[in-house]
Amino acid sequence: MPLYFCKRTMKFKYDVLVIGGGHAGCEAATAAANMGARTCLITMDMNKIGQMSCNPAVGGIAKGQIVREIDALGGYMGLVTDATAIQFRMLNRSKGPAVWSPRAQCDRGKFIWEWRTILDHTDNLDIFQDQADELLVKDRKVLGIRTIWGIEIYARTVVITAGTFLNGLMHIGKRKVEGGRCAEPAVHHFTESITRHGITSERMKTGTPVRIDRRSVHFEDMEPQPGETDYHQFSFFGPQRKLPQLPCWTCNTNEEVHEVLRSGLADSLYSMVRSKVQDHVIALQ
């Protein structure tokens, strides 16, 4: 590990520093390291590397094509998806092959460990569990970062892939809770640190369905939707899917459900409008 000390601070020096071990950060870190750059991936929780924030699904329209493009460029997302897929479907088959769209449901826990194994076996790559707190800049040139523990990591290139964590805010109905995603803290000071240097920060809205307890589901009233058993997968390089494939289950809404949705619509719009106002306040600060 490239390390040197000054009187009071522990310092590290790399070619490339990647902040955030999500999907984007893992690809960025492995790409840099595989090209021979001494690379450090700093992330808040090493046990949640490549965590699937929402549905444990990869692909679908547009994202499925991107995953295959990443695969063609030598990235890992397709390989990790195939290795952990528990259901695969090619969407849009009723249309022409140009718009066919691969989508896999994955085992969320295995997805994390598959990524972690790849990172652990990548030469030139160190993983550091900490939180970037301050961007170090001199004469408008990025030098590195300081972490919340006061450690300084210098690099010729700094890649920020902080996902939904910068000033992250979660909305459930009328309630708002600060957080990067459920059970993980938002990152505050770092956002101010990067915006101070003229990098604009915006928040995108995302949404996730509630998690349900399978013991409370009436499977007898639902329709099984098996996965496809033909050869399709994400990566053109790796072995076939290896985990046992499981069905999904579908059901339809009815008038009663529509009424519940209608009665909550105003609250949903209220929370979105509040979120927009808050974004403007942050932008003005």
- Binding residues for ligand FAD, rule: CB under 6 A, are 19-25, 42-45, 48, 53-55, 63, 131-132, 161-165, 180-181, 187, 190, 206, 208
Give the number of residues written for the chain. Answer: 285
> Which CB sits closer to ligand FAD, 109 or 239?
109
* Residues near 186 by beta carbon (within 8 Å), at least 6 away in sequence: 165, 166, 167, 168, 169, 178, 179, 180
DSSP β-bridge partners for residue 160: 19
Would you give the DSSP letter of residue 99? G
Residue 12 near residue 155, CB atoms below 8 Å: no
What's the closest the beta carbon of residue 83 comes to ligand FAD, in angstroms? 18
Shortest CB 112 distance to ligand FAD, Å: 10
CB of 22 to ligand FAD, least distance (A): 2
Nearer residue to ligand FAD within complex by CB, 174 or 205: 205
Pick 83 or 162: Cβ nearer ligand FAD: 162
Closer of 205 and 242 to ligand FAD (Cβ): 205
Cβ–Cβ under 8 Å, residues 107 and 84: yes
Nearest to 151 by CA among 5, 22, 1: 5
Query: String of b and e for 228-237 (b: at least 16 CB within 10 Å)?
Result: eeeeebbbee
Instruction: Give the nearest distance from C-beta 40 to ligand FAD in angstroms.
Output: 11
- Closest approach of Cβ 159 to ligand FAD, in Å? 11
Q: Which is nearer to ligand FAD, 250 or 263 (CB)?
A: 250
